[in-house]
Amino acid sequence: MFGTQSKRDLALELQAQFPILRPSIHARRANLTVKFQDLYGFTVEGNVDDVNVLNEVREKVRQQGRVWWALEASKGANWYLQPQVSSLSEGIVLKSSLKLAALANSITLKRLIRKGIPPVLRPKVWFSLSGAAKKKSTVPESYYNDLTKAVDGKVTPATRQIDHDLPRTFPGHPWLDTPEGHAALRRVLVGYSFRDSDVGYCQGLNYVAALLLLVMKTEEDAFWMLAVLLENVLVNDCYTNNLSGCHVEQRVFKDLL
């Protein structure tokens, strides 16, 4: 049947074809696609090995979370805020400073942050350390509600662009891509467009505000996080018409690289 082909040659030929006839377990695993939703509702797709890596990362996050919770239990809920003593006529009163430069245990805190803030603590830690809490404390408590009511129904070029971009912001997300999610995102973006007319609304802010909504959980906290990012953290004019701040950052990065 095989002519003069020796048994040894036949065996080598069959062995060469073996990986094709029976792919390895690793090859089959690599082709197995898994879909699931992450912590913030986004659909993640990858093979089994990718999922295993993600599970390892999750376990490290849980371990780091236990360190944060231990500090919360031993030092109090706001241990990362430096107690500041103020002298008053009736005695000494302790106040919590919201200044980043006055953080207690700053070395410990920086190390913890660089290793990762547990998702459940991110809203509080981000809000406190970013300066959003301090910025919010400078205005009346009803500022955000009053702002959203005052601008409700007003039409500007910014509001028209926001309405155009809402359906295009993370389409398919189980909450953001719903009437409720669109309404919350619109209130945050429209409110800020009236707060800072120089920025107004620039395409790209919808994604920033949407992610802040998912992390911070409340509209008002997301609004103040957006405000502190644009007004205090990022380079000026990152989200104005000419995007000059973005060009500055990219040029600095290019020079450093």
Question: Each residue of 168-222: pLDDT tens digit?
Answer: 999 999 999 999 999 999 999 999 999 998 889 998 899 999 999 999 999 999 9
**How far is 110 from 99, CA to CA, in rounded Å?**
15
For residue 222, give the amino acid letter: A
User: What residue segments make up the domains of the chain, in order of their start?
Assistant: 23-80+104-122, 130-256
| Beta strand spans in the chain (E) | 33-37, 43-47, 83-88, 91-96
What pLDDT digit, counting tens, does each position of 118-166 carry? Answer: 888 899 999 988 999 999 999 999 999 999 999 999 999 999 999 999 9
Q: Cα dist. 137→79, 158, 191, 196, 226 in Å?
A: 19, 27, 18, 18, 15
Question: Which CATH fold would you assign to the domain 130-256?
Answer: Helicase, Ruva Protein; domain 3 (1.10.8)
Task: Write out pLDDT tens, residues 1-58.
Answer: 445 556 666 666 655 555 554 555 555 565 678 887 888 899 888 888 888 888 888 8
Long-range contacts formed by 153-157: CB under 8 A, 24+ apart: 154/194, 156/193, 156/200, 157/200
Whether the predicted model's global pTM rises above the 0.85 cut: no
Q: Are 33 and 25 in contact (CB under 8 A)?
A: no
